[in-house]
Structure 1
Amino acid sequence: MAHSSYDLPPLDGLTAMLAAAEEGSFSAAAGKLGLTHGSVSRRIAALEHWLGASLFERHGRGVRLTPAGLRFVRDARQSLGRLSHSAEQWRPRRGRQTVRMSVVPSFARLWLLRRLPAIEQSDTHIDLSLDHRMTDLDNREAEVVIRYGRGTWVGVDARQIVEEMLAPAASPGLRDRMSAAPVIDELLQWPLLHDSDTSQWRAFLSRAGVSYRPRWQDRRFEDYDTVLAAAEAGLGVALIRQPLAADWLTDGRLTTITLQTMANPASHFVCVRAGETRQAVLTVRDRILALAAEDRLEKTA
């Protein structure tokens, strides 16, 4: 018998079949399920009709699976096991709601991870994935996404987490090799460090009339925190993004080179689907924004 993709077996028949396969008789299966012998028999008969094959054959005072029954029970156990495993990932844990979040790795390491307990609190579990690619909110790959850009994505409710300021920075050792007040031309004598997005360096240098294109001595890294680590190692000059990377200045790993700063044309946004109604998702979004606001107040106090 041919079945469409929506022609599914009766679930109560599957339950009765698995119980009978485990117990070896319809009577024992009925006792296990709290049903009558006749009810178990009818459910299995309906399942056999759907399948178009006999599942059990009688022997003595019990039943045993036919060859078709053996194969179908094996497949049913595997399929139901996968469903159960999948459900465990999203089922509320002790009353906690699970929210799927996708974040670029550098932002997770520089800002999010230390604040994750304050975002989750006692009522939410964040299922966190670190991903460089643009996660699709419409396809429910994630419910909360932290994206880096200008916040103009279509179909997305994007809220800026923090406005960033850019300034050239280097290790104290490399800074000591520069003049007291280096100008842009002197900066260009050193390798410039950047991640996959060079728009910050282009924007910063264009203010001094310099059209920037990456050179052979400049270094590109996939993650922004790796850019900072490379600058700490003395490999070149990086644009430090404050307050995201403020710790690298306060603990002396990096030092700013010039007094020139500029607003970053891009920043991190916490994003949900436009029209999102799930309260747990909106609560996570609002807690992230509240923590960012607290950070700003602490720095201006």
Structure 2
Amino acid sequence: MAHTSSQTSLARPPLASLETVCAVAREGSFLAAAEVAGLTHGAISRRVAAVENWLGMTLFERHARGVRLTPDGQRFVGRIEQAFGIIDSAAVQWRLPRSPQLVKLSVVPAFAKLWFFERQAAFESAAPALRIQLDIDHRNVDIAGGEADLAIRYGRGSWRQLEVKPFLPETLYPVAHPALAARLAKQRHKHGDAALLDVPLLHDSDVTGWRAWFGALAIPLKPRAQDRRFEDYTLVLAAAEAGLGVALARVPVADAYLRKSGLVRVSRHEVASPLTYYFVHAKGESRPEVLALIDRMQAAQQGVS
């Protein structure tokens, strides 16, 4: 025989009352449970009394500092919490996916083209889904002002008032067009790596990388009119492909580009770059979507994904 809705309702107390009993058990007092639930002390008391009346037994013992569960209450609340756990698991499994969470990410053009674009779809599609809004510019955006949630910056990590975490260290070695590389090979046979000073050196905003590379060889590097400066590192690599001079390969960020290009290595000497890519965000950043993107990028850098 089918049960009516009124008969079904007698099979258990209201879920809200059961949740209240669990809250009182967790908090240890009616007053604390009322504050957490946003209810009055009287409402909490009435809900607990309704469950106790329905059960026909006392769930809580009163003491000076609040309440504690009776032995029967401990067994009952334990089973109810298990039941709520099953409900919560079902809700997570069956509810419709939420809209992807937005993360505003600031990057320089070279990083976007050489490293990020080919990984962006994977970063967005991993669970939970993200929507990454890129701000691609050479300027440092105002993170504190809300222009970005997260930035990837290249430098020495000295950005005050923000939280800075190392992300992508680089190794430097010189590359050139094959014809120029062949010419340099003959000169290097006589003069070693100092022969690179006979051709234009290609670089972006400064010569920090070249100074570090030559410095490790104890070869001084002075400003030279013949060297060529470009605003973006991808232009540095393109100029090297065109035979306009020698560029520093910055690996691993340039790995994919180098595999596809005709550039060849012109020296076995390599150095760790004094500049590094960093995660930069507001201090105390705790939003799950921002932390998720950081985790995914770190995993990709480490070859995990």
Q: Which range, TM-score by smaller chain?
A: 0.5 to 0.7
| Correspondence for 1:222 among 228, 231, 240 | 231
Task: Note the C-alpha offset of 1:160.
Answer: 2.4
Matches within 5 A, 1:28-107: 95-107=99-111
Match of 1:133 in 2: 139
Conserved 8 A contact 1:103-1:131: yes
Which amino acid in the other structure matches residue 138 of structure 1? A
| Shift in alpha-carbon separation, 1:187–1:158, aligned structure 2, 3 A | same
Which residue of 2 is the match for residue 115 of structure 1?
119
TM-score by length of 2: 0.63
Q: Give the Cα–Cα distance (whole angstroms) in 2 for the partners of residues 181 and 160 of structure 1.
A: 38
The answer on whether the counterparts of 1:166 and 1:261 sit within 8 Å (CA) in structure 2 is yes
Measure, in 2, the Cα distance between the counterparts of 1:246 and 1:272.
27
Alignment-mate amino acid for residue 287 of structure 1: R
Alpha-carbon distance between aligned partners in 2 of 1:247 and 1:256, rounded to the nearest angstrom: 15
Structure 2 unaligned runs (5+)? 1-96
Cα deviations by residue, 1:1-43 (Å, 9 ceiling, x for unpaired): xxxxxxxxxxxxxxxxxxxxxxxxxxxxxxxxxxxxxxxxxxx
SS of the equivalent of 2:212 reads: helix
Match of 1:84 in 2: none
Any idea what SS the aligned residue of 2:299 has?
helix
The whole-number CA distance in structure 1 between the counterparts of 2:202 and 2:286 is 41
Aligned to 1:80: none
Q: Please say if residues 167 and 279 of structure 2, whose CA atoms lie closer than 8 Å, have aligned partners that are also in contact.
A: yes
- Taking every aligned residue pair, what percent have the same amino acid on both sides? 42
Instruction: Let me know the Cα RMSD of the aligned residues.
Output: 2.0
Could you tell me which residue of structure 1 aligns to residue 160 of structure 2? 154
Shift of 1:180: 4.8
Contact 2:107 2:152 in 1 (8 A): yes
Q: State the 1:155 CA deviation.
A: 2.9
Pick closer, same or farther for the CA change 1:277–1:179 going to 2, 3 Å. closer
Deviation for aligned residue 1:181: 7.3
Shift of 1:244: 1.3
Amino acid at match of 1:107: F
Equivalent in the alignment of 1:204: 213
TM-score normalised by L of structure 1? 0.64
Amino acid at match of 2:141: T
Deviations 1:22-74, CA, capped at 9 Å, x for gaps: xxxxxxxxxxxxxxxxxxxxxxxxxxxxxxxxxxxxxxxxxxxxxxxxxxxxx
Greater Rg by CA: 2
The answer to whether the 8 A contact 2:174-2:267 is kept is yes
Counterpart check, 1:195 vs 2:195? no
Q: Any unmatched runs of 5+ in structure 1? A: 1-92
